[in-house]
Amino acid sequence: MLRVIQAFGLTSNPRKELPPAVDDVSFEARAGHVTALLGAAGAGKTTALRLMLELQHGRGLTYFRGRPLHRIAHPSREVGVLLGDVPGHPARTVRGHLRMLCAAAGVPVRRADEVLESAELVGLRGERLGTLSRGMDRRLGLACALLPDPHTLVLDDPAGALSAHEARRLHDTLRAHAAQGGTVLFSTADPKEAARTADHVVTLEKGRVVADQEAADFSRTRLRPRVAVRSPHAARLAALLTKEARAARRSVEVVREGGNRLAVYGSTCADIGETAFRHGILVHQLADEIGDMGPGAGAVPAARQQGVEDSRAPDAANPTAAPRPSPAGPSPADLPPSAPPPAATASDGVDPRRSPLDEPLDSPQPEGPQPSPTEPADDLPGAGSAHTPPVPTPPARTAHRRTSRPFAALAPAAADTRKAASSLPPPISVRSAPSPLSPLRYELRRAVGISTGFVTGAVVLVVSAVTAVVLARVGHTPQPRLLAAWPRELPLPPAALGAGLLGALAFGDEFRHPALAADRGTVPRRMGLLTAKLLVSAATALVLAALTVGCDAEVLHLFYGQELARVPADWPALTAGWLGLVVGCAWSGVLAAGVFRSTTAGLAAVVAVPVLVVPLVQRVWAGPSVRTAAGFPMRVREVLLSQWPFGGERYLAEVLRMIVQPVGSALTLSLTALLCAYLLMTLRSRAR
């Protein structure tokens, strides 16, 4: 069997005097199988997954089909990840978020609509991420993981706090992905969920692996069997069972689970059925099930428990209603005297070759409230059968790519399994070649997908216009500064501050709401992505600078006439300096936010240029030993023995004149330092 995920010696860095959260964890996950990473809260499940995905520093190696994640050219196409909530800006729409991820992964944009349809989220495509319910959020997170059609899925407690129906739907999708040759690794704190859903269970305790078993061995050795009983006279039956156990000196534990349900540990269906028959107690359900690992294990999340209580309500309100069929088969008390006995099995009559997760979501159900096919007879999430849990038959041949095998090439499976597989999005038949336009498309969709940029631009225009009117009213302000709305008391004009803020948001906001969680940290340090961010931020800054000057000129013309709105005589040099200042501030925000992973730090770096760096540069330039670059264009022309086309020496002289000025020198120095720091951090991350 092909081992797709191999984790060796995963160890997290110790926290002060505390032991490491994960200590020497090693396990494997195979293709075509669902592997569960089981452990109570604090056992180290999430830390282990983050170490595997290189999102957290530590020791150890993890190979995905023989390669570590940082050696994979397109990690999102190999590994689909869902850690916590959907990583995205809460103001972004569902469809916009998926289309942005399509551009990031380099897949056709139509893939977003295919995933929306398969996840049954078409009706919510215009909703904001911040307004989604827990179930819809998890469904969207799984859709994001499946968007690039990866071979491997890594999920951290995907069914946590979900209702029973949503959990069953998610498990169906995971099972269908594995049935087509993919690999699924998910973490859970519920041992019953692991036994029911997974083919292989790796148990963690205090950061160490304590068991690495097939699901059948896990159910037999680590879960307690119990008998699920449902009767309208549950309280009376519980008292009788406890009384008879004490009289016979047997260790029997009876647990009231609410309503008319009992969980009996240490007894059998035969003994309980005989007791109920002797005392004339009607029994609606009597089935062997898998219990938990002991007190406190496998606690039911609050949201899912709420869904369970809702499903119990009809029975509690109408105890004489007709019994509901149980996945474990009818109990002896439910069979009429002339009915033949049920098929002989170890406990509950479930065909071991058929997984309960193979039940289709759209299969017809009898009228009235029905238990989920994946749920136990008492509707508690995670309960299963004491019989060996069904292990799905792996494909006859494991493909290197899940999408490279047509579904018909799989080993024969039940029709229900094929229906469950229909919940997956269709495979991507042709991969788009790596293109330098993919990061640019991603950055454009990221920038225009939310209203932050437009609101910031509008605020800058309003503040700039008001400032220009006030400066013109006060007087004593040169016309170039008047058009830029740049008072001498402020280090930067509003347009430069706005451009710096938009540049800082390009990286800082992305670290707060990451979109590429699987690609080398929250945001990948790829030069193509950095180039795209610099290009988009520069274009945004140029547009903002032009709109600011135009709006200020129109407002000044409206209030004070043509005199204050006329074009200065040296407008080419002033325009070049103005555009260079705004673009430089935008780039400073981008690079500073990328280095410090914070929008606030990016904006602080922009403000620090005129406040801290400019005085330092002025002091340096004022020194007696400083040489200037005067005559540099003429010397270059003499060296090249050629004429500059279109008067190029004049433009070069203007650029050099701006650079040698204190503001230009400070901005150039800051950009150079930030770019070097970013490149250094990029090289360090790739060398890990």
Q: How far is CA 185 from CA 38, 107, 175, 285, in A?
A: 11, 24, 11, 34
Residue 262 lies in a domain: yes
Instruction: Please check whether residue 265 is in contact with residue 252, taking contact to mean a CB–CB distance below 8 angstroms.
Output: yes
Pairing of strands 183-188, 34-38: parallel
User: Where is pLDDT greater, at 410 or 517?
Assistant: 517
How many CB atoms sit inside 10 A of residue 405's CB?
17
Do 250 and 192 lie in a common domain? Answer: no
C-alpha torsion 554→555→560→563, nearest 10: -30
Angle, helices 571-596 vs 662-687, to 10°: value is 30
Do 68 and 164 lie in a common domain? Answer: yes
Q: Which of 214, 241, 276 is the last residue of a domain?
A: 214
Given pLDDT bands bounded at 50, 70 and 90, which one contains residue 186? very high
The predicted pLDDT at position 422 comes to 56
The predicted pLDDT at position 488 comes to 83
Q: Which H or E run contains 278?
A: helix 269-278
Do 19 and 46 lie in a common domain? Answer: yes
Task: Give me the CATH number covering residue 18.
Answer: 3.40.50.300
The predicted pLDDT at position 295 comes to 40
The predicted pLDDT at position 71 comes to 85
- End-to-end Cα, the chain, rounded Å: 30
Q: Which H or E run contains 102?
A: helix 94-105
The predicted pLDDT at position 187 comes to 95
Do 89 and 69 lie in a common domain? Answer: yes
What length does the chain have? 688
User: Where is pLDDT greater, at 291 or 180?
Assistant: 180
Q: Mean of the pLDDT values across residues 531-543?
A: 93
Residue 292 lies in a domain: yes
Residue 17 lies in a domain: yes
Distance of alpha carbon 446 from alpha carbon 532, whole angstroms: 11
Say yes or no to pLDDT of 335 above 70: no
Give the range with max mean pLDDT: 11-25, 351-365, 608-622: 11-25
Q: Which of 214, 233, 249 is the last residue of a domain?
A: 214
Structure tokens at 225: 């069997």
Q: Which H or E run contains 55?
A: none
Q: Which residues pair with residue 204 across a beta bridge?
A: 209
Do 99 and 237 lie in a common domain? Answer: no
The predicted pLDDT at position 650 comes to 59
Domain count for the chain? 3
Residue 286 lies in a domain: yes
pLDDT digits (tens, 9 = 90+) for 376-413: 333 333 333 333 334 344 433 333 344 433 322 223 33
The predicted pLDDT at position 344 comes to 34
Given pLDDT bands bounded at 50, 70 and 90, which one contains residue 297? very low
Do 169 and 227 lie in a common domain? Answer: no
The predicted pLDDT at position 654 comes to 59
Distance of alpha carbon 392 from alpha carbon 376, whole angstroms: 19
Q: Mean of the pLDDT values across residues 576-597?
A: 88
What ranges in 513-570 are assigned the alpha helix state H?
527-560
DSSP, res 229: E
Instruction: Please check whether residue 103 is in contact with residue 109, taking contact to mean a CB–CB distance below 8 angstroms.
Output: yes
CB proximity list for 314: less than 8 A, separation 6 or greater: 321, 368, 369
Say yes or no to pLDDT of 298 above 50: no
The predicted pLDDT at position 580 comes to 86
Residue type present at position 98: L
What ranges in 422-493 are assigned the alpha helix state H?
437-448, 452-474, 479-484
pLDDT digits (tens, 9 = 90+) for 237-296: 999 999 999 998 888 888 888 789 998 988 899 999 999 999 999 999 999 877 665 443
The predicted pLDDT at position 384 comes to 37
Say yes or no to pLDDT of 148 above 80: yes
Say yes or no to pLDDT of 348 above 90: no
Residue 389 lies in a domain: no
Looking at every residue in the chain, the average pLDDT score rounds to: 75
Backbone torsions φ then ψ of 272, nearest 5 degrees? -65, -40
Do 68 and 166 lie in a common domain? Answer: yes
The dihedral region occupied by 561, where left means phi > 0, alpha psi between -120 and 50, and beta the remainder, is: left
Q: Mean of the pLDDT values across residues 118-142?
A: 90
Given pLDDT bands bounded at 50, 70 and 90, which one contains residue 114? very high
Which of 43-47, 96-100, 129-133, 671-675 comes out lowest in average pLDDT?
Answer: 671-675
Q: Mean of the pLDDT values across residues 363-378?
A: 38
The predicted pLDDT at position 376 comes to 37
Instruction: Please check whether residue 413 is in contact with residue 236, taking contact to mean a CB–CB distance below 8 angstroms.
Output: no
Cα Rg of the chain (Å, integer): 33
Q: Which of 214, 232, 258 is the last residue of a domain?
A: 214
The predicted pLDDT at position 555 comes to 92
Q: Mean of the pLDDT values across residues 419-424?
A: 60
Do 202 and 240 lie in a common domain? Answer: no
Structure tokens at 627: 């040489």
Q: Which residues pair with residue 213 across a beta bridge?
A: 201
Which of 134-138, 460-464, 656-660 comes out lowest in average pLDDT?
Answer: 656-660
Q: Computed from CA positions of residues 34, 39, 40, 43, in that sequence, does the dihedral angle turn out positive or negative?
A: negative
What ranges in 561-661 are assigned the alpha helix state H?
571-596, 599-608, 614-621, 632-640, 648-660
User: Where is pLDDT greater, at 352 or 54?
Assistant: 54
Quote the domain boundaries for residue 476: 437-687
pLDDT digits (tens, 9 = 90+) for 608-659: 887 777 777 667 666 555 555 556 556 655 655 555 555 555 555 655 555 5
